[in-house]
């Protein structure tokens, strides 16, 4: 009522000044948040959304969606807003669906949409990638654990490695130190053993390591941390490890000690710490306040996860937006935000547009079982274009 009253006032004001003014009513399908709500409502009736057959799950969403659309519409009507109801649109109308597919196909043809394995924000409760905009950061209390990574050659002692996520040590491929950190100069080129495993990993150097953090030695876990992934990419001699956390953030795979496999990351952390303490690997633990990323929809801690998704290439799209502000065709108010706008636009990351949800716009890409090639088309193709 508040937001629409403001829009209504503006629409009427401009009409009274004799200006042609159109205000279009529309509702969004809001894929992710709707699915979260339906999932919650079903859970109260003792039904697990994930176990429903696809058509039943879609029917439940559609029922929910219709009820809520009717409520929103009746509220707008009750408010007496001067909307043009003859142009009412809903994002999943046939026209909107077709327009979305067309834009996807066009951007793909212009090489502005691509598919790649990248580090994404993963919500393990919803089991989907989410965008940066759906992540909320807050300062939270944690524990910084200092672990002993023993020398692989059997000589006494080892390297002290600090981490807030001891359960991820099983995905380590290296330990990295800053190239100018004199304390660790003798360690570079040697190997250490990942605690609780028999795997030796090399000690490498990387400019991105902050010598002031912990002991100045960082474990490198490329599949489960963005900084680590970037360090990994600068060291082509390192091999990509298997996933040690699955889509639900449960510890999995051969690299995880058998006793810990199948545990979720929280139980996994507690039990890993028990084993580390028992093995004499824990040097000390200190309280640590740090920024934690949570999913806006579920409040689950976001898991940085290497995953194959679809992205929009933002560089070429940001260019014209930056130019229009630089050339004064667009002005930002208040003016002091112009600097922020440039900073956002010039450091913009490619945008992850795919979600692992049941409901929404399907990506118009068709995979050929015979040749493995993809056909990108607005209408479902009868044949593979390869
Ligand atoms: Zn084919």
Spacing, Cα 367 to ligand 1 middle (Å)? 8
Q: Whose CA is closest to 65, among 46, 41, 97, 100? A: 41
pTM, full prediction: 0.77
Spacing, Cα 199 to ligand 1 middle (Å)? 42
The first and second tokens of residue 113, run together, are 């949409």
Spacing, Cα 384 to ligand 1 middle (Å)? 5
* Distance from C-alpha of 225 to C-alpha of 133, rounded to nearest angstrom: 18
Spacing, Cα 368 to ligand 1 middle (Å)? 5
Q: Look up tokens 């058998």; give the residue.
A: 258
Q: Is the pLDDT of residue 31 over 80?
A: no
Phi-psi category of residue 368: left, alpha or beta, with phi > 0 → left and psi -120 to 50 → alpha = beta
Spacing, Cα 53 to ligand 1 middle (Å)? 29
Helix (H/G/I), strand (E/B), else coil: 133: helix
H-helix segments, 133-264: 226-233
Burial class (CB within 10 angstroms; exposed 0-12, middle 13-18, buried 19+) of 355? buried
Spacing, Cα 122 to ligand 1 middle (Å)? 31
Spacing, Cα 366 to ligand 1 middle (Å)? 10
pLDDT in tens, 176-213: 999 999 999 999 999 999 999 999 999 999 999 999 98
Phi, psi of 366 (to 5 degrees): -115, 130
Phi, psi of 193 (to 5 degrees): -100, 130
Spacing, Cα 49 to ligand 1 middle (Å)? 34
pLDDT band at 166 (very low <50, low <70, confident <90, very high): very high
How distant, in Å, are the alpha carbons of 182, 220, 237, 328, 386 from that of 176? 13, 7, 14, 46, 45
Spacing, Cα 371 to ligand 1 middle (Å)? 4
H-helix segments, 88-153: 94-109
Q: Is the pLDDT of residue 261 over 90?
A: yes
Spacing, Cα 382 to ligand 1 middle (Å)? 11
Spacing, Cα 374 to ligand 1 middle (Å)? 7
Spacing, Cα 369 to ligand 1 middle (Å)? 7
Spacing, Cα 116 to ligand 1 middle (Å)? 20
Spacing, Cα 383 to ligand 1 middle (Å)? 8
Spacing, Cα 114 to ligand 1 middle (Å)? 19
Spacing, Cα 365 to ligand 1 middle (Å)? 13
The first and second tokens of residue 131, run together, are 């965008």
Give, as one character, the DSSP assignment of residue 251.
B
C-alpha 264, offset from chain centre: 19
Spacing, Cα 107 to ligand 1 middle (Å)? 22
Spacing, Cα 118 to ligand 1 middle (Å)? 26
pLDDT in tens, 352-386: 899 888 888 889 999 999 999 999 999 999 999 99
Spacing, Cα 134 to ligand 1 middle (Å)? 36
Q: Is the pLDDT of residue 130 over 90?
A: no
Q: What is the pLDDT of residue 276?
A: 97
User: Which stretches does DSSP call E strand in 42-101?
Assistant: 89-90
pLDDT band at 27 (very low <50, low <70, confident <90, very high): confident
pLDDT band at 79 (very low <50, low <70, confident <90, very high): very high
Spacing, Cα 106 to ligand 1 middle (Å)? 21
């Amino acid at each position: 009522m508040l937001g629409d009253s403001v829009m209504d006032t503006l629409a009427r004001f401009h009409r009274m000044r004799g200006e042609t003014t159109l205000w279009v009513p529309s509702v969004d399908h809001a894929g992710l948040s709707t699915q979260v709500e339906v999932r919650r409502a079903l859970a109260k009736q003792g039904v697990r959304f994930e176990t429903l057959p696809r058509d039943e799950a879609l029917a439940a969403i559609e029922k929910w969606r219709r009820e809520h659309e009717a409520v929103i519409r009746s509220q707008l009507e009750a408010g007496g807003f001067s909307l043009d109801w003859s142009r009412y649109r809903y994002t999943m109308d046939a026209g909107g669906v077709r327009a979305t597919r067309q834009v996807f196909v066009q951007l793909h043809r212009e090489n502005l949409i691509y598919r790649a394995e990248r580090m994404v924000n993963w919500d393990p409760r919803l089991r989907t990638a989410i965008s940066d905009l759906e992540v909320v950061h807050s300062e939270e209390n944690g524990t910084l654990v200092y672990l002993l990574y023993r020398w692989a050659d059997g000589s006494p002692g080892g390297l002290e490695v600090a981490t807030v996520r001891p359960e991820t040590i099983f995905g380590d491929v290296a330990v990295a130190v800053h190239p100018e950190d004199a304390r660790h100069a003798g360690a570079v080129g040697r190997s250490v053993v990942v605690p609780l495993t028999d795997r030796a990993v090399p000690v490498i150097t990387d400019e991105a390591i902050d010598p002031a953090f912990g002991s100045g030695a960082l474990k490198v876990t490329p599949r489960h941390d963005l900084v680590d992934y970037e360090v990994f990419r600068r060291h082509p001699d390192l091999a990509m490890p298997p996933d040690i956390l699955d889509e639900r953030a449960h510890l999995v795979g051969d690299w995880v000690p058998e006793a810990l496999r199948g545990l979720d990351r929280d139980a996994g952390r507690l039990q890993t710490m028990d084993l580390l303490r028992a093995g004499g690997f824990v040097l000390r633990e200190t309280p640590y306040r740090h920024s934690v990323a949570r999913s806006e929809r579920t409040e689950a801690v976001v898991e940085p996860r290497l995953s194959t998704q679809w992205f929009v290439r933002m560089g070429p799209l940001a260019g014209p937006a930056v130019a229009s502000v630089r050339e004064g065709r667009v002005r930002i108010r208040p003016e002091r935000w112009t600097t922020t706008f440039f900073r956002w636009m010039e450091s913009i990351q490619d945008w992850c547009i795919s979600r692992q949800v049941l409901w929404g716009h399907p990506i118009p890409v068709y995979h050929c079982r015979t040749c493995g090639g993809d056909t990108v088309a607005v209408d479902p193709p009868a044949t593979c274009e390869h």
